[in-house]
Amino acid sequence: MSAPEPPGPHVAVIGGGLAGITAALDCADAGARVTLLEVRPRLGGAVYSFERDGLRIDNGQHVFLRCFHAYRALLARLGSERGVELQPRLEIPLVRPGGEVSVLRRSGLPAPLHLAGTLLRYRPLSLRERLGAVRAAVALGRLDPRAPELDRQTLGAWLAAHGQSQHATAALWDLIALPALNLPADQASLALAAFVFKRGLLEHADAGDIGFHHRPQGEIVGEPAAHALRAAGVDVRLGWRVERLVAGDDGFEVWRRGSEVDDENGHTGEGTTGGERWDARE
Ligand SMILES: Cc1cc2nc3c(=O)[nH]c(=O)nc-3n(C[C@H](O)[C@H](O)[C@H](O)COP(=O)(O)OP(=O)(O)OC[C@H]3O[C@@H](n4cnc5c(N)ncnc54)[C@H](O)[C@@H]3O)c2cc1C
């Protein structure tokens, strides 16, 4: 005799990365019957560990911030909080060519004063550049990231218009823009930059405290997610590449291509094409 199915709607979640795992668990917790379809042979998406020459190497999500509330909630849901550590206070040592070390650290003051002291002592910048950086940070914190005109200019152009030299941009602003936006200030959208700087550094004093993983990422996300999804009753199908969604009157058909997964990147062979139908009851 099979277990009775939950009375809620039947939900298909496509992709078993952080977003898919979170969506599947949330839907299952809310009473839905959930099927998660993932092309790779494992869960975790971009966040995973692999072996190379006897070493276990991590890919993706090396650090996170205290303000990553959704990610931290997922870690708690997976019972993985013990595999990570959050700095009590933001502290980033910076080593310059030649070996000179300077440290960016926040004080115990409320935002945005928590960064004023460290900016005013930041040796890679001249005193004039430090004062200018404080003024620019305050102005950046006042921008509304949702304003459409912000997406039409770059962070670099905005910084230049607010008195930031190329040297100050490279020695300070790019330290945040490059890892957080994957682009130097000269190429990054001002809208995205304003969002990241405000949310991560300027609105709440503790938002930018950095979190580290001290267990392999596969043990922190993929493996516990497999257990948590199973315990929540989610039907997890690995090696399932969704190719097409077809809307019908009473649901969706989710079509896949290929039935065998060849490698870690989810490249599939030319297997059978199958279709499945999902009930779209509200
Ligand atoms: C090298 C690297 C370092 C990073 N470092 C950091 C960091 O330090 N801090 C940080 O915050 N972020 C970092 N990131 C980014 C972070 O890892 C990602 O933003 C996050 O993992 C994305 O999760 P996701 O679920 O949105 O997408 P993904 O992880 O990409 O998940 C999508 C999933 O969908 C599956 N899929 C796609 N198409 C189909 C299909 N047709 N059918 C079935 N399944 C499908 C994929 O196989 C994948 O498993 C890093 C990323 C990389 C690659």
pLDDT digits (tens, 9 = 90+) for 198-232: 999 999 999 999 999 999 999 999 999 999 999 99
The rounded mean pLDDT for the chain is 89
The pLDDT tens digits for 62-107 are 899 999 999 999 999 999 999 999 999 999 999 988 888 999 999 9
pLDDT at 271: 39
Ligand 1 atom index nearest CA of 71: 11
How far apart CA 56 and CA 241 sit, in angstroms, is 27
Q: 275 pLDDT band (50/70/90 cuts)?
A: low
Residue whose tokens read 């509200």: 282
CB 251 within 8 A of CB 243: no
Cβ–ligand 1 distance for 60 under 6 Å, the answer yes
Pairing assessment for the beta strands 63-65 and 210-213 based on DSSP bridges: antiparallel
CB 260 within 8 A of CB 268: yes
The pLDDT tens digits for 142-197 are 999 999 999 999 999 999 999 999 999 999 999 999 999 999 999 999 999 999 99
How far apart CA 206 and CA 88 sit, in angstroms, is 8
Q: Which amino acid is at 27?
A: C
Please tell me the residue having the least CA distance from ligand 1 atom 2: 60
DSSP 17: S
CB 71 within 8 A of CB 64: yes
Strand partners, 37: 14, 237
- Domains with residue ranges and CATH for the chain: 10-83+215-279 (3.50.50.60), 89-208 (1.10.405)
pTM value? 0.87
Cβ–ligand 1 distance for 18 under 6 Å, the answer yes
Give the residue among 206, 225, 207, 200 at the shortest CA–CA distance from 75.
Answer: 225
